[in-house]
Structure 1
Amino acid sequence: MPRKPSYDRDALIAQARDIFWRQGWAGTSLKDLERALNLKPGSFYAAFGSKDALYALTLERYAQDGVARLMAMADEMGPLRALKAQPHLVIDAGAVPTHACMLAKTYAELQAKGHELADKASGHMVEMKECFATLFRRAQQAGEIGPDHDPDRLAARYQSDILGLRLSAERNDVNAAEIAADIASDLDRL
């Protein structure tokens, strides 16, 4: 009878997500992961199969957590208020490995190499954009934004603004709080 693992797989995925988010795919070695997760090579492969398989799990967790957090905010405060709050949350994120988006970082790092993880990151960014579009549609149905706006186009622009904000929040020469306030106030003009 196989022995039950003595680790919490979900906790290891969350820990690995933070390592990959901070250091990127190329900047994180298998030895880094084994050491940080306190796993021997055989246990690592039994748990995750490969570095790429673990990375894919961390991308999925990152994306699912982001969508769930935003949708919960929308259920609590309404779609438009949630969209307006999101830019402020990006810069006030607290103890995150980096403000930059893990999905965008992965795509930028790996798409030129034709790596399949770039496609996974891109797919998750599409899901996030669809989440934004859903919230813009809900806001439109609630009469919070005008009927002449295309929710898909608003979502694409909003995602672009948020991705730029996340990179700006990494820089010392940019006032990311002002940019976040501008993104939020722009939504009042819809």
Structure 2
Amino acid sequence: MPRKPEYDRDALIDRARDLFWKQGWAGTSLKDLEHALNVKPGSFYAAFGSKGALFELTLDRYAENGTARLRALVDAHGALGALKRYPALVIEPSGSNPRACMLAKTVLELGSLDDPLAARANFHLSNMEMRFAALFRAAQAKGQISKTYDADALARRYQSDLLGLRVSAERDGVDANAIATEIASGLDRLSIPATN
């Protein structure tokens, strides 16, 4: 009978995510991972197979966490309320993790190499954009946002604003909270029909 592993796989994925998020794909060696996860090489390969397989798991975990946070806001505040609160949420400090988006960082680092990990990150970014579009449509259905706006275009712009906000939050001397407030208040103006 095989022995049960003496580690919490989910906790290891979370620790690996935080390391990859800070250091990136190329900046994180197998030795770094073994040290951070406190596992020997044989245990690492038995648990995850490869560095690439683990990185994909961490991208999935990162995306799941973002989706769960957005869903909690929707449950508490409705579609428009969630869209208005999400910018401040994404720049809240979380331990020593960077505020810049791990998915966007991965696309920037590996996208030009046609790496499947960049495609995975882009897949998650596209899914999040679709979630934002669904929230804009829900707000339109409630009459909170004018139906003259294209919900897909609003979602693309919103996600772009969030990615820029997260980079700005990493810069010294930038008031990211003020930018988050501007993004949120800008959504109120969408109740006025678009003009051509």
- TM bracket (short chain): over 0.9
Q: Does 1:142 align with 2:128?
A: no
Q: How does 1:108-187 map to 2 (within 5 A)?
A: 108-187=108-187
Structure 2, unpaired ranges of 5+: 191-196
Give the alignment's Cα RMSD to 1 decimal.
0.9
TM-score normalized by structure 2? 0.94
Deviation, 1:96, is 4.9
What's 1:29 paired with? 29
How many equivalent pairs are there? Answer: 190
Q: 85-94 or 52-61: which moved more?
A: 85-94
The answer on whether the counterparts of 2:73 and 2:86 sit within 8 Å (CA) in structure 1 is no
Structure 2 partner of 1:81: 81
Cα distance in 1 between the residues matched to 2:95 and 2:40:
28
Aligned-residue offset at 1:66: 0.4
> Which residue in the other structure is 2:65 paired with?
65
Q: 1:46 offset after TM fit, Å?
A: 0.5
Write the distance in 2 (CA, Å) between the matches of 1:33 and 1:135. Answer: 37
SS at match of 1:172: coil
**SS of corresponding position for 1:140:** helix
State the one-letter code of the partner of 2:148.
D
| Deviation of 1:52 (Å) | 0.4
Identity %: 62
Residues 101 and 166, structure 2, Cα contact 8 Å, conserved in 1: yes
C-alpha separation in 1, matches of 2:59 and 2:86:
20
Pairing of 1:94-105 with structure 2 (within 5 A) = 94-105=94-105
* 1:13 counterpart residue number: 13
Deviation string, structure 1 residues 119-169 (Cα, Å, up to 9, x no partner): 000000001101111111111111111111111110000000000000000
TM-score by length of 1: 0.97
Deviation sequence 1:26-73 (CA, Å, 0-9, x none):
010001001110111111001000000000000001001101110121
CA distance in structure 1 between the aligned counterparts of 2:94 and 2:107, rounded to whole angstroms = 24
